[in-house]
Structure 1
């Protein structure tokens, strides 16, 4: 799945990319946030290790 904006970024497209990421986080919608990451993403939250979109959704659901 491809989503613009695509690299290389100029100031306008970089700003758009950051705003899209902020909007996803501010929505507090775990599914929407998880779609912004690759299926094999790895996160660390203190002592908890999160792998993949399903675990991201579960983590954010607990968090929010």
Structure 2
């Protein structure tokens, strides 16, 4: 599944992509935020390490 905007980015596309990311985080819905990351994502939050989308979602919840 490809969601716009896709590379190569123009300046306006980049601004749109950043605003979409900000809007997703501002909704504060852990499920929606976690979907923005790959299923095999690796996160570091200070001394905590999260592996996979499920752990990211649980952490945000």
Match of 2:30 in 1: 30
**Structure 2 unaligned regions, length at least 5:** none
Q: How many residues align?
A: 61
Structure 1 Cα separation of the partners of residues 54 and 14 of structure 2: 27
Partner of 2:47: 47
Show CA shifts across 1:24-60 (max 9, x none): 0000000111111111110001111001110010000
In structure 1, list runs of 5 or more residues that go unmatched: none
Name 2:2's counterpart in structure 1.
2
- Per the TM alignment, residue 10 of structure 1 is displaced from its structure 2 partner at its CA by 0.5
Higher helix share: 1
Q: Distance in 2 between matches of 1:44 and 1:8?
A: 28
**Secondary structure of 1:6's match?**
coil
Q: Are 2:16 and 1:16 equivalent residues in the alignment?
A: yes
RMSD: 0.7
